[in-house]
Structure 1
């Protein structure tokens, strides 16, 4: 804690005491003393027994003695007043002398900081720091001078005209002095001071373990080399890195705690540095990376987002490697609204989305890789609403969707590879409603749908969407979709749960493209094509095995080709009851076994009866 000033608040900056005039203070002191004496006399008289006989007259010498005693008391009071005034004036003179001495020390230290020789500048650094410790009321001014030195132009090229011998040592000494005064055990703490490093240049420095309780400005600062460590630091006030340039070296925030205030990295540029946030805690306030540019280097966010608001609105990921490995999103609001992923490698592998809101709405995935390998979605909301997947790779391999809500509402899949292979859908809600699959590849190879609610009420007009090897054993999966182009493969195992491919109000429409259930196995559960319309697609159930499910094809066949060539009806309940054959071709060549209800189809030709 900072030392308290020896003077009261009213005397700061003033060294002549405010004293009353003698002709006022003297009589007032005598009157106060006499009043006190009279009060004591009356008190004792009231305590005396009542009704006693009158005493004899007081002798003259007693009156004289009492008078002299009163005069002596008055003189003593006046002497005390005079002594007090003299002491106060002496203190004022001493304080004025101290102030003059401190001002002279300030001037000397400032002159030393501007000296040509590095050794003298180093002496100026220590002199200014010692002055900040001794001159509490001007401590902020002394700190401002040291920060201003770091904001001065800094030339690292020995051949350049502005190069100063030993300058790097001087600047690193300032950083070290600042760190020493920001430690919890510092004899004199500067933690309550503001620090302004605006547009300063850093090529190294150690601020680890520092406690910043006020505002810290790094906006426009350049981190060009070496290692700048903020490991274990605590920012409980505002920290501004807006527009900072991370162009080299390492800037480390390992175990750093942002517990209050706003932390701003808006418009910052990460072009070459390594910036780790391992185990950092963002538990309060707002952290902003709005319009930040990640064009190179490596940024690690293996952090815990437990109560803050973190914005990546409009951020551009065009070349950096950005890791959110194992990050925990348990209560924060984290937004990538409108972010652009065009070339970076961004990893959410193993991240845990257990609460709060992580928003990728309107984000653009046009290049690079954004990976969600083994991520856990078990709470909170993760929307990809109207996101644009036009290039690059977005793998969800092994991701687990066991709770919360993940929405791809209105998203557009027009290119690239969005891969859900091996993903597990066991709870919560995952929605692709109104999404458009017009290009690229979206595989769900070996995905497991064992619980929860998955909605594919989307439009498939191009590209390839494949469910080969997927297992539908318990989820409620809705394909109330429009399939007008591209290729959709359902070579899956349907062993339980409820799968809807149509509905009387929202029937799936197969109007183009290729939809394949070749090799699919329906061994349990309920699969519903009621109300679906096959009007132009090529839909194949070749080699499909219906061994235990209840499958209903109460659909409208008005065009295209639907063939069950080589299908096997060995168990379960397969019914075409309610189907309507208007046009197109339905083939049942080389089938084994028969459905329970052929509906309008001839058992061998598939033609209308």
Structure 2
């Protein structure tokens, strides 16, 4: 229709007749060709102009829609952020309220309420398990550990025991259980206190009927201190020591400290034990343990009957050097395997303590890890890799 309109206009301009197909006034071929070409060009130009106009309008409409969408998105995002902040603030307020309630429960005179407060505080520490709230988590753990009776609380503990026998040990057992439940090997995120400091220094665990065995635990606390505490005996069964520091520095061990089937793959273990004024004999025993990366320090003070026994233990090539030396006692290695014996024992000078080896086993190739074997054969570098 547009083409016909332009053809009529151009035909009229040539011969004052808007109908080029009029048979009464025939148009020459040249005139007809000019009319057709001019009409086609005008139609194409008009079509291009209309297309360009529509494109510009569409682009403007799209830009306006995008600007509106961005504005709406920004407002929505700000609203979401505000809602998140409000939710976090509400959660923080609720957690701090629970902290206050749990602390009040722990300070109650009723044993059942105290124990409920202990578990509430422990679960609260679980929920603080986010990077931004590690300070609050540590604060909850410190409240738990500070509630253990110390050596200076002996008279008070005895009075409570006479008045109410459950009060003396119920709270302490609940705290002990809560702490070491957070070290189970199969615990998931939120049920472990990885990187936290557990301070059990200057406590008296000998007079309380606590569990004497910790089994299937993975210790990756930031630190676990028993320093200057009193322990009758304690056994670690099938545990892994892989991070942080566990310290028995100046701990009074009245019986035996034992490690059975444990793996020492990282971190630090300080066994600088002592017996105070009593100078009683102590014993540290390792049975069927594997040493591959934990730094172990010995610097104990005891009698000539004190000693450290390694039975059927394996020291892998990556095992760290045993450092320190007890003032008295001996080191006995029975049926042990050493992949680098001289390096591991280089700090245990025989001149100050007695070292004995019996039924020593040759190093087994199966005890090598792949990277240890590669380092042993080829050293470090592209070939080893």
- Establish whether TM, by shorter chain, passes 0.5: yes
Residues 312 and 337, structure 1, Cα contact 8 Å, conserved in 2: no
Q: For 1:149, which of 147, 150, 158 is the aligned residue?
A: 147
Partner of 1:21: none
Taking a change above 3 Å as real, the CA distance of residues 195 and 351 of structure 1, as seen in their structure-2 partners, is farther
| Structure 1 residue 69: Cα displacement | 7.7
| Structure 1 residue 65: Cα displacement | 8.2
Superposed CA offset, 1:300-349 (max 9, x none): 432444433223535212xxx975433444424324437656xxxx7846
Partner of 1:210: 217
Counterpart-to-counterpart distance in 2, 1:88 and 1:229: 50
Q: Report the TM-score, using the length of structure 1 for normalisation.
A: 0.42
Does 2:97 correspond to 1:97? Answer: no
Does 2:291 correspond to 1:282? Answer: yes
Q: Which runs of 5+ in 2 are unaligned?
A: 1-42, 364-385
Does 2:194 correspond to 1:184? Answer: no
Does 2:245 correspond to 1:233? Answer: no
Superposed CA offset, 1:443-469 (max 9, x none): xxxxxxxxxxxxxxxxxxxxxxxxxxx
Taking a change above 3 Å as real, the CA distance of residues 339 and 86 of structure 1, as seen in their structure-2 partners, is same
Counterpart-to-counterpart distance in 1, 2:310 and 2:99: 43
| Structure 1 residue 251: Cα displacement | 3.2
Q: Which runs of 5+ in 1 are unaligned?
A: 1-51, 356-609
Counterpart-to-counterpart distance in 1, 2:326 and 2:64: 87
| Structure 1 residue 177: Cα displacement | 2.2
| Structure 1 residue 247: Cα displacement | 1.7
| Structure 1 residue 76: Cα displacement | 4.6
Does 2:273 correspond to 1:264? Answer: no
Greater relative contact order: 1 or 2 (C-alpha under 8 angstroms, separation 6 or more)? 2
Residues 283 and 308, structure 1, Cα contact 8 Å, conserved in 2: yes
What is the root-mean-square deviation in Å for CA atoms of aligned residues? 3.8
Counterpart-to-counterpart distance in 1, 2:101 and 2:296: 41
Partner of 2:322: 310
Residues 214 and 236, structure 2, Cα contact 8 Å, conserved in 1: yes
Residues 202 and 222, structure 1, Cα contact 8 Å, conserved in 2: yes
Partner of 1:242: 249
Counterpart-to-counterpart distance in 1, 2:197 and 2:219: 8
Q: What is the DSSP-based 3-state SS (H/G/I as helix, E as strand, rest coil) of the residue aligned with 2:269?
A: strand
Q: For 2:120, which of 118, 122, 127 is the aligned residue?
A: 127
Q: What is the DSSP-based 3-state SS (H/G/I as helix, E as strand, rest coil) of the residue aligned with 1:217?
A: strand
Residues 200 and 229, structure 2, Cα contact 8 Å, conserved in 1: no
Partner of 2:16: none
Does 2:158 correspond to 1:160? Answer: yes
Partner of 1:352: 360
Q: Report the TM-score, using the length of structure 2 for normalisation.
A: 0.63
Residues 253 and 273, structure 2, Cα contact 8 Å, conserved in 1: no
Does 2:94 correspond to 1:86? Answer: no
Larger relative helix fraction: 2
Aligned residues: 294
Q: What is the DSSP-based 3-state SS (H/G/I as helix, E as strand, rest coil) of the residue aligned with 1:242?
A: coil
Q: What is the DSSP-based 3-state SS (H/G/I as helix, E as strand, rest coil) of the residue aligned with 1:201?
A: coil
Larger relative strand fraction: 1
